[in-house]
Amino acid sequence: MFPLQRGRRLRVNESIRSLVRETTLSPVDFMFPMFIAEGENYQSEIPSMPGIYRRSLDLTVAEVKELFALGIRAVNIYVKVDESLKDNTGKEAWNPNGLMQRAIRDIKAACPEMIVMPDVALDPYSIYGHDGIIENGDVANDATNDALVKMAVSHAQAGADFVAPSDMMDGRVLRLRQGLDAAGFQHVGIMSYSAKYASAFYGPFRDALDSAPKEADVVVPKDKKTYQMDYANRIEAVKEALMDVEEGADMVMVKPGIAYLDIVREVKNAVNVPVTVFHVSGEYAMIKAAAERGWLDHDKIMMEQLMCIKRAGASLISTYFAKEAAILLNQK
């Protein structure tokens, strides 16, 4: 029988397509990652990430206000730490007057309703560029967890709404939850980087923070594969996410984004908490580079990728495109 059902009836024009559209995007779906540096009235564009800057606190606060006006309600913040403050303990990470702690206070004072999620990992503070403390040629899991608890509590004391552990140490979510609760911060949430893969897509980010593993006078891992996940694995991601939820995570994250949409859907199906997806620096840089050469339509491919991440199951998308995408969405 000739088909009675014709899919094209629901594609005749944009009005009909919008009526039956299964997935929608809004500025509140985005979180903007921000890089913060010391100084005043300072900004420096990151060469491998056109349009993304390291900014001093005063310019960061101005940018946060602009983001909030566009409808973006969350920022994920990272700091560029001076080399003189780096060591193997990461102690600058919990300095109450450190750059991260001042950034949290200033952002919350200027824009109290903006949700601030500071990064919790030691790589910006490490002389070795690793996410934890080096002992006997490897990253020491439990010693690193102790340091991360101090870091997270200092963020909560500064006013953070969530802490965002990106380190991939075993058991760190439980230790963070216990530490935050013991310090009286039961209301501060944890957005855990649960399925963070050892990916080559992070290169531009490491340029921004100078956080790549470094040559050293002691034995250190040459990469982060002993703690970040093997990108060949799928089931492991679900296991990690479920463990983090059991340990007290309020949200879980999959990172990277577009190349890992199968993982996003698997995790979304498995957990009962919101799933965040990090559309990472390398994914951003590839679109920018291709668009500059005229190989892709920048805005169309940007929106398509963000929609695909949302369609796969993301409740929140951390993306360097947040501001540009919000501007486009607000024009519609």
Residue 144 to residue 166: CA distance in whole angstroms: 12
Of 165, 185, 158, 180, whose CA–CA distance to 102 is shortest? 158
pLDDT of the residue at 212: 63
Of 73, 77, 125, 75, whose CA–CA distance to 103 is shortest? 77
Query: Is the pLDDT reported for residue 22 higher than 90?
Result: yes
Read off the pLDDT of each residue in 45-54 and give the average, rounded to a whole number. 94
Query: Is the pLDDT reported for residue 169 higher than 70?
Result: yes
pTM for the full predicted model: 0.94
pLDDT of the residue at 261: 98
310, 11 Cβ separation under 8 angstroms: no
Residue 76 to residue 215: CA distance in whole angstroms: 29
Of 81, 78, 72, whose CA–CA distance to 49 is shortest? 78
How confident is residue 3, by pLDDT bands cut at 50, 70 and 90? confident
- Tokens for 101, please give them: 């702690």
Cβ count within 10 A of residue 185: 18
Query: Is the pLDDT reported for residue 217 higher than 70?
Result: no
86, 126 Cβ separation under 8 angstroms: yes
| Cis ω for the linkage preceding 221 (within 30 of 0) | no
Is 332 tagged catalytic? no
pLDDT of the residue at 82: 94
Q: What is the pLDDT of residues 190-216, one digit of tens each?
A: 999 999 999 999 988 777 666 667 666
Per the residue annotation, which of 196, 224, 310, 323 is the catalytic one?
196
Mean pLDDT of the chain: 95
Per the residue annotation, which of 108, 255, 268, 310 is the catalytic one?
255
Q: How far is CA 304 from CA 16, 17, 299, in A?
A: 19, 15, 8
pLDDT of the residue at 207: 73
Read off the pLDDT of each residue in 68-87 and give the average, rounded to a whole number. 96
Rg of the chain taking only CA atoms, in angstroms? 20
Q: What is the pLDDT of residues 26-44, one digit of tens each?
A: 999 999 999 999 999 999 9
Strands 30-36 and 316-319: parallel
Of 169, 315, 298, whose CA–CA distance to 244 is shortest? 169
How confident is residue 168, by pLDDT bands cut at 50, 70 and 90? very high
pLDDT of the residue at 97: 97
In terms of C-beta density within 10 A (0-12 exposed, 13-18 middle, 19 or more buried), how is residue 267 classed?
A: buried
Q: What is the pLDDT of residues 81-97, one digit of tens each?
A: 999 999 999 999 999 99
pLDDT of the residue at 1: 63
Q: What is the pLDDT of residues 253-303, one digit of tens each?
A: 999 999 999 999 999 999 999 999 999 999 999 999 999 999 999 999 999
Is 239 tagged catalytic? no
Least confident of 148-157, 187-196, 198-207, 227-236: 198-207
Read off the pLDDT of each residue in 130-135 and give the average, rounded to a whole number. 94
